Amino acid sequence: MKQIDSYNFPEAYCDIALEYIRYKQSLGFKYSVSEQQQVNRMLAFIYSKSITNPILALTSELVIEYASKRENESFSTLHIRQSHIRQFALFLNLRGILAYVYPKNLVKTTDHFVPYIFTKDEINRILRVADSIGPNKNKFINTPYIYPAVIRILYGCGLRISEALSLKCEEVDLAGGILTVLNGKNNGSRLVPTSESLRKYLVIYNSKVERNGNPYFFPALHQERYSPQTIRKQFYKMEKRAGIPQLSNGRYPRIHDLRHTFSVHALEQMIKNGQDPYCSLPILSSYLGHKGVESTEKYLRLTKQYFTDILQFNSEDADKIFPEV
């Protein structure tokens, strides 16, 4: 349930791992636990394979072996591994350890991923399931209140799961309906207004939840915050109970698809209100915390598809709303 912020590295390379992570964090990188786990896998490989003295004097053969494609591995995973070994070698060189630096031209990744856009009926079904959740196996009294509120804030505000779970009480203005998201992705911070209905819901939620001094708006036990993985696992159970269809790969849509769904539904509402979708992009981009409007443009394509497939607009009418640019 709790959120863990640091990884326990084996003693053999704990010092160099922590030094590397502190170095990357000093440059502005967050280096979450999942990224630290990737560092651990890289160092475990190096320490089991290296024949140099010192061990960290990486040979080109060792680096290339680590950076080579494995069976059934995606290009995006390979790209991440290549980037990690390259950045680590650059760090070693700064420390005076001569290590082979993998070339800049990392494997190219192609993004063919299409997010799942929930229908409004599916969102309502998920919320009904969330509202029926009882206390967990530890009899944690807040469980029935946490999940419905988290799902509503993810769909209603388009937050990333990590942003929602990191919210502290003083960052949630229940009177004004404003969330202050600090140090989100790309180290950006922003103010996120809520709808009036969501604001009223959060007021009621806040009156029911027991904190016992826990500073987080979504409090876990022992003064900690919820782990995103805990919420994700529960969300998959909700989808199954709500009758959400599995994808072609046999999996259920991700909780992050609530953010994509928010974006498409927000554009849909803007269009229904008579706003030009292209003029709406900068507004949505700022709301979502994107670095630039380019990251938001993909939602125009998704929204056009949504209008055609879900709202049953014909192609001619859809083309009028979404002209080529």
Q: Measured between alpha carbons, how far is 257 from 155 in angstroms, rounded to an integer? A: 9
Instruction: Give pLDDT, residue 279.
Output: 62
For 151-176, letters b (16+ CB in 10 Å) and e give bbbbbbbbbbbbbbbbbeeebbebee
Beta bridge partners of 257: none
Q: Which strands sit side by side in the sheet containing 190-193, from one edge to the other?
A: 172-173, 178-181, 190-193
Alpha helices, DSSP H, located in the chain: 14-26, 33-49, 60-66, 75-94, 120-131, 143-157, 161-166, 196-208, 228-242, 257-272, 277-288, 298-309, 315-321
Contact present, 272 and 266 (Cβ < 8 Å): no
pTM over the 0.85 mark: no
Q: Measured between alpha carbons, how far is 100 from 92 in angstroms, rounded to an integer? A: 9
Cβ neighbours around 251 below 10 Å, total = 11
Q: Judge if the upstream peptide bond of residue 144 is cis by omega within 30 degrees of 0.
A: no
Residues of the chain with pLDDT under 70: 1-6, 28, 109-113, 137-139, 184-188, 276-288, 290-325
pLDDT tens track for 144-201: 999 999 999 999 988 889 899 999 999 999 999 999 988 766 556 788 899 999 999 9
Instruction: Give pLDDT, residue 319.
Output: 46
DSSP state at residue 293: G
Closest by CA to 146, choosing from 230, 259, 32, is 230
pLDDT tens track for 53-85: 999 999 999 999 999 998 888 888 888 889 899
Instruction: Give pLDDT, residue 153.
Output: 94
Q: Which amino acid is at 59?
A: T
